[in-house]
Amino acid sequence: MTRIAPLEAPYGPELQANFDQIMPKGAEPLILFRTIAVSERAWRKFRSASLLDGRLISLRAREILINRTCALAGCAYEWGVHVSAFAAAARLTPEEVEATCAPDPATASWTAAERALLAAADALHGAARLTDGEFAALKAWYDDAQILEIIMLCGFYRTVSYLANGLDLPLEPGAAPFPRG
The span from the CA of 145 to the CA of 35, in Å, is: 32
Contacts of 109 (CB under 8 A, 6+ apart): 93, 95, 96
The span from the CA of 174 to the CA of 20, in Å, is: 19
Instruction: Give the pLDDT of residue 95.
Output: 94
Q: Give pTM, 2 decimals.
A: 0.94
Instruction: Give the pLDDT of residue 52.
Output: 67
Instruction: Give the pLDDT of residue 55.
Output: 81
Question: Domains of the chain (ranges plus CATH)?
Answer: 13-48 (no CATH), 59-166 (1.20.1290.10)
CA dihedral 123, 83, 160, 106 (to 10 degrees): -10
* Local mean pLDDT, 10-residue blocks, the chain (181 residues): 91 95 92 97 89 83 97 98 96 96 86 97 98 98 96 96 97 91 51
